[in-house]
């Protein structure tokens, strides 16, 4: 989708997945594209309906967690578009992990027993639950790879004050608990996820997407314990299968590596997996709503006009 130019627009930023338009000083229009990224690299082909899936799951989850903390969302004028408040972002991601999976497991398997300053217990197998969820923050890189960072480093470098970090920590754990409850009702386990926060004045707001397949990992709850006991792979709904495919094709985003070609069948498989996650997490049938660029623009302009 081409970039737009809106009345009152003061800034435009194109991220890995989202295009963000600043309107005046106080508002953002966030367009979730069909781009897909892994290992901090945008893959060469878009995934049909991915933007709609991400945007609609995020909107659902932001509404379902509004009692925990303020969030930025005001409206969703188009299937892949959100309009909301502009916040000054913290340059960190609050990553919450309930299970020893993915990056946490790779760290653990290497022999390390600390991640982002958090001690990891002995005797864990891949995908085991931690005794309680842990927070393993990362830096929010403008370009390139995000980096692990500890609570102490965040405070020491001024990325957040001790008081601010305490609030971020509290919100992140409460949001994760709510996400687990929502997932459990759908027969899923919320394994890990990330949250981004910002400020308007002295108030901290939840920003961006929440509990989507781009920001979260889910396991199927049915049979989880049996698979763990047998040492079998867990059935999961997340973007991890894309990362695993890339790793199998010798790509991890490192210098000199080439992104493998994506066939039509593989693109459709990814799209179907995203739709499956939408239907499983939300508990509703996915209804594709393809809009032309002109229709999308018109809906956004109407939403912006309502802000003034």
Q: Tell me what the mean pLDDT of segment 117-146 comes to.
A: 90
pLDDT surpasses 90 at 245 = yes
Question: Does residue 37 belong to any structural domain of this protein?
Answer: no
Q: Tell me what the mean pLDDT of segment 155-165 comes to.
A: 97
Question: Does residue 254 belong to any structural domain of this protein?
Answer: no
> Cβ atoms within 10 A of the Cβ of 214, count?
23
**pLDDT at residue 169 in the model:** 98
Question: Does residue 299 belong to any structural domain of this protein?
Answer: no
Question: Does residue 274 belong to any structural domain of this protein?
Answer: no
Separation CA 117–CA 153 (nearest Å):
9
Structure token pair of residue 272: 């179907």
Structure token pair of residue 67: 């009692």
pLDDT surpasses 90 at 236 = no
Task: Annotate 95-127 with b (16+ C-beta within 10 A) or e (fewer).
Answer: bbbbbbbbebbebbeeeeeebbebebeeebebb
Whole domain around residue 213: which residue ranges?
A: 90-240
**pLDDT at residue 1 in the model:** 52
pLDDT surpasses 90 at 233 = yes
For residue 232, what is the DSSP state?
P
Question: Does residue 120 belong to any structural domain of this protein?
Answer: yes
pLDDT surpasses 60 at 143 = no
**pLDDT at residue 237 in the model:** 81
Residues sharing a CB contact under 8 Å with residue 123, sequence separation 6 or more, in sequence order: none
**pLDDT at residue 2 in the model:** 56
**pLDDT at residue 15 in the model:** 86
**pLDDT at residue 7 in the model:** 86
Question: Does residue 107 belong to any structural domain of this protein?
Answer: yes
Separation CA 207–CA 64 (nearest Å):
14
Q: Where are the beta strands (DSSP E) in the chain?
A: 9-14, 18-23, 27-32, 37-38, 41-42, 73-78, 81-85, 88-89, 92-99, 114-115, 118-119, 129-135, 138-139, 188-200, 203-207, 216-220, 236-237
pLDDT surpasses 80 at 129 = yes
pLDDT digits (tens, 9 = 90+) for 11-55: 999 988 899 999 999 999 999 999 999 888 899 999 999 999 999
Distance between terminal CA atoms of the chain?
26
**pLDDT at residue 308 in the model:** 62
pLDDT digits (tens, 9 = 90+) for 164-194: 999 999 999 999 999 999 999 999 999 999 9
Q: With bands split at pLDDT 50, 70 and 90, how would you rate the model's confidence at 144?
A: low
User: Which is it for the CA torsion 305, 84, 89, 21, positive or negative?
Assistant: negative
- Comparing CA positions, the residue from 133, 40, 18 lying closest to residue 84 is 18
**pLDDT at residue 145 in the model:** 64
Question: Does residue 13 belong to any structural domain of this protein?
Answer: no
Question: To which residue do tokens 């010798």 refer?
Answer: 250
Q: With bands split at pLDDT 50, 70 and 90, how would you rate the model's confidence at 264?
A: very high
Structure token pair of residue 146: 């995000």
Q: Tell me what the mean pLDDT of segment 140-144 comes to.
A: 64
Phi, psi dihedral angles at 14 (to 5 degrees): -110, 115
How many independent structural domains does the chain possess? 1
pLDDT surpasses 90 at 261 = yes
Question: Does residue 71 belong to any structural domain of this protein?
Answer: no
**pLDDT at residue 49 in the model:** 95
Q: What is the CATH number of the domain that holds 190?
A: 3.30.470.20
**Global confidence as pTM:** 0.90
Separation CA 82–CA 46 (nearest Å):
20
- Comparing CA positions, the residue from 37, 174, 15 lying closest to residue 3 is 15
Find the range with the poorest average confidence among 95-104, 138-147, 150-159, 245-254: 138-147
């Amino acid at each position: 989708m081409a970039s737009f130019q809106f009345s009152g627009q003061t800034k435009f930023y194109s991220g890995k997945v989202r295009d963000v338009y600043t309107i005046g000083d106080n508002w953002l229009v966030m367009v979730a594209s069909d781009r897909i990224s892994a290992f901090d690299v945008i893959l060469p082909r878009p995934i049909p309906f991915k933007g709609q899936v991400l945007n609609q799951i995020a909107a659902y989850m932001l509404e379902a967690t509004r009692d925990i903390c303020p969030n930025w969302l005001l409206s969703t004028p188009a299937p892949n578009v959100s309009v909301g408040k502009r916040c000054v972002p913290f340059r960190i991601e609050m990553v919450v992990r309930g299970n020893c999976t993915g990056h946490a497991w790779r760290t653990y398997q290497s022999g390390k027993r600390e991640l982002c300053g958090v001690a990891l217990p002995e005797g864990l197998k891949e995908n085991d639950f931690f005794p309680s969820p842990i927070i393993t923050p990362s830096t929010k890189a403008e370009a390139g790879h995000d980096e692990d960072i500890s609570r102490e480093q965040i405070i020491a470098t001024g990325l957040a004050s001790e008081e601010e970090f305490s609030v971020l920590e509290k919100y992140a754990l409460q949001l994760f608990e709510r996400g687990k409850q929502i997932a459990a009702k759908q027969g899923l386990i919320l394994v890990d996820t990330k949250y981004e926060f910002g400020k308007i004045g002295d108030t901290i707001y939840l920003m961006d997407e929440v509990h989507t397949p781009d920001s979260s990992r889910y396991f199927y709850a049915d049979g989880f314990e049996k698979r763990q006991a047998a040492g079998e792979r867990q059935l999961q709904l997340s973007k991890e299968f894309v990362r695993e495919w890339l790793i199998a094709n010798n790509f991890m985003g490192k210098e000199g590596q080439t992104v493998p070609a994506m066939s039509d069948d593989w693109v459709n498989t990814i799209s179907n997996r995203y739709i499956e996650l939408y239907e499983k997490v939300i508990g509703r049938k996915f209804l594709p709503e393809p809009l032309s660029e002109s229709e999308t623009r018109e809906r956004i302009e109407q939403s912006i006009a309502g802000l003034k």
